Every structure is written in structure tokens, then in C-alpha cells.
Amino acid sequence: MIGQVLRRLLTMSVTLLVISALIFFVIKLPPGDYLTNRIMELRATGEAGSVAKAELLIHQYGLDRPVWQQYLIWVGLMPGPAGFSGLLEGDWGWSFEYDKPVADVVGDALWLTLLVNVTALIFVHLVAIPAAIYSATHRHTVGDAVVTVLGYVGLAVPGFLLALIMLFYANRWFGLSIGGLYDSALTNQPWDGEKIRSLLAHLVVPTLVIGLGGTAAMIRRMRANLLDELAKPYTVTARAKGMPPTRALLKYPFRMSLNPFVADIGNLLPHLVSGSVLVSLVLSLPTVGPLLLEALRNQDQFMAGFILMFVAGLTLVGMLISDLTLVWLDPRIRMGLR
């Protein structure tokens, strides 16, 4: 088992390396980069001092070297002008756009992103699982139909539209400030009780908006899975033993129907970051989604590269988590049968 995990970790690092190369070269594909574009702009306006600074940056980050060397320096496998200083050494690079280290720009946004999306995820499961169980056990009843219709509505309404509507009413009824994850007055304040309270209040709308689409999809899938499992003979066995219906349901068919969802964790984590960009923009949430979009548009290469690497890392970690959970959950996989 431990050997398995070690082997997985090894393949993961190789995968990450390959991904990092892909990301870097894809970012580099369009001609020019942020600094050369900027220099051209500055030359046109004739600001000699700024031009000198930009050229210094070019040299400092080795942007005048061949692309493969730039890549190795970025990853930290080759000494740059400032010695070994790349991702491997914990240096995430410089954001030219913000003129700050990437870590400073992204820092808060990363944790807020995870917060918003994990909350949405928990919301999805809390709502979808009971709804799906109800819907599957009360098939072809009014309740099932209501859940189904609501589910389809949730699937069909675009997130950004819902976001706008909810923002409007949240502001009108509860006096919540529009947009952001906390009151804009608190932006530069330390994290104290008031700011956290403001954060929690602002979390409701994004959670609902991001969560609803996923909830609907999950109800549909879970219901279908459960219906398959409910027809299986071991469910009948459990009934024939005299188990109360709910207990039997949770112990046997429900547990069996979980596998596909566990296998999905790997896809969920990266989706957390990249999936809610549109909603984040509309709600002007300080999350990484909009930052990534901007960085890609401006060819802010280290910033874009870091965020993409972060997403890739999340994907791999998610895959690992889901595989390990499956092993723990399903003895058939544990015993290497199946």
C-alpha cells in the first residue's frame, strides 16, 4: 500500500514536470511577452528611466535567453541570473502587471477561491444527496417530479444571470454591499471578527450561484445510480433480513452508488478554480479565476504559469485523493480484483 502511494507520487511529479513544460511553451507561443510589449510602449512615449527598468527585469528573469533556458530557470532546474530561483525553490516569479511577486498578488485570492468553492461543494452535496435519495425512493411521485423540475431549472438558468438577480435582492432586502467577498470598506483591514462576519454574509450568494448548477446535475446522476442499485438483489436481501428501509438504503445501495462520485473528485478540484470564472467576474469576487484571465490576456507569463501549475497540481492531488478513497471504500479495488 505504502509502496503504491510512493509510486503514485513519483509518477505525479513526472506528470507535473511534463505539464509545466507544456504550460510554459503554450504561454510562450504568441510572439513577444509582457515586457517587450511594454518596452515598445514606453519607447513610444520616451520614458527612458522606465525603459531601463524594464530592460533590467528582462535581464533579471533571463527573458533574453533561449526559451528552453527560460523554462529551466522558471522551474528552478537551472541557475538564472540570481542563482537557482524557480518553482522548485519556492519562488513563484514576478508579476509584471502588478509589479509585485506573484505570491503577493495571488496569496489571498487562492485561499478565498478555495473557500468559496469548497463551500459551494459542501452545499452541492448537502442538498443533492438527500434530494436524490428522496427522488429515487419516491420514484414517479409528485415529490420526485418537483425535485426533477427544480433540478432542470437549476441546470438551465445561467449562473451569471442568477448571480445578478440574487445580488440585487440581497442588497435590497439585507443591505448587503454589491460584489466582492467582504464589504469594500474592509479591504485593507486585518482579518478581525467584523471582516469575517462580512465574509460569511457575502459567501451566501456565490455559494448558491456556483452550487446550483452542480446540484442539479448531481441529483440527476445520483438518482439514476441509486435506481440501478435499488434493483440489485442484495437490496432485496437486506429487506428480507428485516432491516428498516432507510438504514438498508444507506448501508447498501447508497454506498454502492458513491463510487462514481468519488472517482470524480479529481475533476472537481481544478474545476473549483477555473469553473467559476464567469460568476466571479459578475460578482467581482477576489478569486484566482479573473486573475488568470487577465494574466493570460496580458501575457503576464509567470503569473499565468503559476496559476496554471496550481490548477494542474490540484488535479493530480484530486486524482490521488479519489484513488485512495476508492481503495479505502471498495474492497474489490483494495484486493486488486474486479
- Residue 226 near another protein by CB under 8 A: no
3-state secondary structure string, 154-220? HHHCCHHHHHHHHHHHHHHHHCCCCCCCCCHHHCCCCCCHHHHHHHHHHHHHHHHHHHHHHHHHHHH
Nearest Cα neighbor of 303 from 87, 65, 117 is 87
**Residue 171 or 259: which CB sits closer to another protein?**
259
Kindly state the smallest distance separating residue 228's Cβ from another protein, in Å: 13
- Residue 332 near another protein by CB under 8 A: yes
Mark residues 53-92: x for contact with another protein by CB under 8 A, - for none. Answer: ----------------------------------------
Chain position carrying cell 478581525: 192
Kindly state the smallest distance separating residue 148's Cβ from another protein, in Å: 18
Q: In the window 243-282, what residues touch another protein (CB under 8 A)?
A: 243-245, 247, 251-252, 255-256
Nearest Cα neighbor of 305 from 71, 135, 57, 137 is 71
# chain residues binding another protein, by CB under 8 A: 26
**Residue 255 or 297: which CB sits closer to another protein?**
255
Do residues 319 and 9 touch, judged by C-beta distance below 8 A? no
- Residue 240 near another protein by CB under 8 A: yes
d(CA 136, CA 256): 14
Kindly state the smallest distance separating residue 277's Cβ from another protein, in Å: 38
- Residue 239 near another protein by CB under 8 A: yes
- Residue 6 near another protein by CB under 8 A: no
Instruction: Tell me the HSE value of 13 on the side-chain side, using a 13 A CA sphere.
Output: 8
- Residue 297 near another protein by CB under 8 A: no
- Residue 242 near another protein by CB under 8 A: yes
d(CA 276, CA 195): 23
Instruction: Tell me the HSE value of 268 on the side-chain side, using a 13 A CA sphere.
Output: 24
Residues that bind another protein (CB under 8 A): 3, 232-234, 236-245, 247, 251-252, 255-256, 329-332, 335-337
